[in-house]
Structure 1
Amino acid sequence: MNQQIIRKLGIAAAYAFLSSVALNFFWLPGKIYASGITGLSQLLSELLADRLQITLSIPTLVLLFNLPLLVVAWRRIDRSFTIYTIFAVLLTSFMMKIIPVYPLTTDPVICGIFGGALHGLSVGLTLNSDFSTGGLDIIGILVKKATKRSIGSFFIVFNICLQFFAGWIYGWQYAFYSALSFFISGQMVDYVNAKQKRVQLMIVTESPIALTASLQTSIQRGITVINDVEGAFDHHEKKLLLLVISQRELKMVKQLIHQVDEKAFISIAPGVSTNRTFFEW
């Protein structure tokens, strides 16, 4: 088993633990609905118990909701992605059962903030590792591919709608606290998920052919070559390479540049936007 597989399994385990802690230590004690499929499962579990006297646990409903979504992910996204996602879903359902509900506090503001932060952190880590937590993540990835909107923004819209129905049925007070938690969770996802962050590189080099070939082989990005660039100190002719990459790729790209041209000058501009999506699952 190689290091990449071990790393992904470890991140899946970390997600399962962090999301279960967020639910059982903060959201349930604070009477706050969880986000995504877990929140939908929580709401449906309560409705079935209150209206029909049918008992279905949250972990069981999470598995039932995820089954058709995992089939869609297998067909529309990526099979390796889906295999790790299945592992994450199964492990999460297991940990939700074995980790007890432990009320560190019942303050809804504290529960909303810390539950949302923990959950957003765990989701961002999985997305940044080429798989997801299932459920809403799968829908979010498909929506992002179709609309180019960020995954975190989709989470926020979905969960606000979920809270509207929860507040309408059970009262508005905790629905507003839950909406705050979802907003924090969505922002944390976008902060942690480095795939969505883009940086622009400007590379001044005397080895443009070798460097361009190395970069295109490794990251498969379009590169703009600007000719006739002259250094002000030595007046040697150089070329300028311009490309946009994800934040996650930056360390690897800098190592590639150093291997080909140790004297290359690199300028890095964060927070850029483009009119094209350069990465797809």
Structure 2
Amino acid sequence: MRLKKNYSLFILIVFIIVGLLGCSQKQESKMKGAQEGDKLEDEPTIRVELENGQTKEMKLEEYVAGVVAGEMKKDWPENAYGAQAIKARTFALRKIEDTADNTISAQHEEAQAYKPENITDEIRSAVEMTKGQVVTYNGEYIKAWFHSSAGGETTSAKVGLNYKKAEPKYIKSVQSPDDEAPADIQNWELSISTAELKNALQSKGVTAEQIQELKIKDRDQTGRIKKLEINHDQGTTEMHGADFRMAVGPDKLKSTKVETITKKGDGFVFKGQGYGHGVGLSQWGAYKLAKKGKNLKK
């Protein structure tokens, strides 16, 4: 299913998105947008699988507004909303192409959060401002990953997501100004019992009765866990940091940017920074850049 030839024609540079993706402006990573005069019938229709199990059809831009409202907080700068709108639009169109299906889930665990009840006038303005604009690399929609907070530095898809394919050339580790994220995102602590951990690891095939020790064996340059060693009564299991986070629960173990893991009583205590996989756009980074006056064109 090919859509971008009709829906995205005009080439621009995107400051906030390119900056937080780590793309140089000399690379072929561009933001494409609809030229003035494009016909509305070129806008794709999306089928959204709602949380109540029902499916609703809508135009892409209406869907994008609901995603921005679901993924970002109220009263954020317009250019932060605009950056999210471009990423949401790109994500949706890439998914449609990859699956040849215009159906997309409203669950953030499966695709993108969709909360139309949270749409504000400011969000609608940002979606209209960026109407039809997407990010491409070498003529293809990018993998439009985004997350809440990078904890100061973004990471690669290989590290943050255990991405199995070749690392996309437009994904680079860059500094991200996440210092206005909430305190429990900038620095967090998670206590998890051995019983909880044992149950979580069963989903990854680790059938152990006792978890004795967790060792960080390898990190990337951002401090994120690449390899974790789990010592248990059945032996030793090595696991990718991203896989371990998904097993524990991505909303419990907020990121793999973990400073320490300490055995305490009948469980373990994790201390770390950031929220999310750390790949692509940091929403709190975009918030700070937009507050400093950065926009989507310069």
TM-score under structure 2 length normalisation: 0.27
- Between 1 and 2, higher relative CO (CA 8 Å, sep ≥ 6) is seen in 2
Q: Which has the higher strand share?
A: 2
Between Structure 1 and Structure 2, which shows a larger proportion of helix residues?
1
